[in-house]
């Protein structure tokens, strides 16, 4: 296949996802409401007790809600990845997923293109969240807005790939709520999205270990450092490895001859 065919397929997949995003305004609003509630309501209470604490490595940023802002960006991406997996289940039931996967292109490329499309959507949501947070006196350095973009792409693709893996286990849309309760919420609360890792260690050693090895925590740490102009090599490498692992599992799961699809009584569509 010529590179033109790959580019045309990529543009088509990304364009379809962006068009769906524009048409589904409720999805856009719902992705922002949850982190904004955490920022405006809960952070106000946290500030009164933790706002004066100096949290390394951001000694000049002492407000607790400034610390959790990258964590809330991660929340946007986590739930966007979940919504993306929901749309894949819907596409599979409607048959459009079959049309995509029978295209004469590598399966990994098709799934990676869909993954990139949902990641770009989450990046738009993240920057809008940062714009709103700016008026709430959360103003990171200007270079942080540029430095965080590669981190948004990597973390968004990792969480989106996780959503793809989950979608291979979901037979029907009605089962989606169970995935939310038993996978997404534990992953969120056992992370550093709202509390720093050192505080979790003080509270509970088991919770600290779970959060430390949680790929969502590492994605948040990568975002947190990037937003304030720093680079966390360990968190970046951890997130990249998790992305490759989840993407490989998703490609395997959407292979009708080897993956999870035949066990659900249907093909890839």
How do residues 176-210 score in pLDDT, each as one tens digit? 667 767 778 888 888 888 777 877 888 888 888 99
Mean pLDDT value across residues 30-59: 57
Question: Residue 251's pLDDT is what?
Answer: 87
**Which two structure tokens, joined as six digits, stand for 257?**
């001859």
Least confident of 147-151, 153-157, 265-269: 265-269
Question: Residue 239's pLDDT is what?
Answer: 96
Q: Where are the domains of the chain?
A: 3-264
Quickly state the pLDDT bin for 139 (edges 50, 70, 90). confident
What are 195-198's contacts with CB under 8 Å, separation 24+? Answer: 196/55, 196/67, 197/221
Distance between CA atoms of 55 and 67, rounded to whole angstroms?
A: 8
Mean pLDDT value across residues 160-165: 88
Q: Does the predicted model carry a pTM greater than 0.85?
A: no
245, with CB counted inside 10 A (0-12, 13-18, 19+), is middle
Least confident of 109-123, 144-158, 247-261: 247-261
Checking if the pLDDT of 267 tops 60, the result is no
SS3 content of the chain, % helix, strand, coil (to 5): 75, 0, 25
Distance between CA atoms of 268 and 253, rounded to whole angstroms?
A: 9
Q: In this predicted model, which residue has the larger pLDDT, 212 or 55?
A: 212
């Amino acid at each position: 296949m010529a590179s033109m065919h790959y580019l045309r397929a990529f543009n088509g997949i990304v364009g379809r996802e962006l068009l769906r995003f524009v048409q589904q305004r409720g999805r856009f609003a719902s992705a922002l409401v949850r982190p904004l509630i955490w920022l405006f309501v809960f952070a106000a209470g946290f500030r009164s007790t933790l706002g004066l604490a100096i949290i390394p490595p951001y000694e000049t940023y002492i407000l607790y809600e400034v610390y959790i802002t990258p964590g809330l960006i991660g929340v946007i991406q986590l739930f966007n990845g979940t919504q993306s997996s929901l749309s894949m289940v819907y596409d599979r039931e409607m048959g459009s997923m079959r049309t995509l996967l029978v295209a004469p292109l590598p399966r990994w490329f098709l799934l990676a293109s869909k993954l990139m499309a949902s990641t770009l959507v989450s990046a738009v949501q993240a920057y809008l969240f940062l714009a709103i947070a700016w008026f709430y006196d959360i103003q990171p350095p200007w270079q942080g807005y540029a430095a965080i973009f590669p981190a948004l792409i990597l973390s968004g693709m990792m969480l989106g790939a996780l959503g793809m893996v989950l979608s291979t286990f979901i037979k029907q849309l009605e089962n989606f709520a169970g995935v939310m309760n038993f996978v997404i919420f534990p992953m969120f609360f056992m992370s550093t999205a709202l509390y720093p890792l050192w505080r979790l260690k003080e509270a509970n050693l088991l919770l600290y270990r779970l959060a430390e090895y949680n790929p969502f925590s590492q994605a948040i740490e990568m975002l947190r450092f990037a937003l304030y102009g720093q680079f966390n090599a360990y968190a970046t490498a951890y997130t990249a490895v998790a992305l490759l692992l989840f993407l490989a599992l998703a490609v395997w799961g959407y292979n009708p001859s080897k993956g999870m699809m035949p066990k659900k009584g249907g093909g890839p569509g």
